[in-house]
Amino acid sequence: MQVTKDTLVGDILDHDVGAAKFFFEIGMHCLGCPASRGESIADACEVHGTDADALVKKLNDYLAEAGNK
């Protein structure tokens, strides 16, 4: 899976629930809420005052590594 700023939070979590830790790091603790699962990375980062590009990089690095195991 390749994550972009337009990727939905729920799609990432459906692909690999371990990615939740990166959302927790930015203060997004409401991952069980249907509204948060429908947010894009860009929207989630805007609401939580964090850099979307940095989160996208962390997620892609994590998912690439997880796919190699």
In this structure, which CATH number among 1.20.1260, 1.10.10, 1.10.3470, 1.10.3910 belongs to the domain 9-67?
Answer: 1.10.3910
For the chain, what percent of residues have pLDDT higher than 70? 97
For residue 68, pLDDT beyond 70:
no
Output the pTM of the full model: 0.89
Q: How far is Cα 37 from Cα 48, in angstroms, rounded to an integer?
A: 14
Kindly report the three-state secondary structure assignment for every residue of 1-69.
Answer: CCCCCCCEHHHHHHHCHHHHHHHHHCCCCCCCCHHHHCCEHHHHHHHCCCCHHHHHHHHHHHHHHHHCC
Structural domain spans, the chain: 9-67
Encode pLDDT of 28-50 as tens digits: 888 878 788 889 999 999 988 99
Smallest CA-to-CA distance from 63 within 44, 41, 45 is with 41
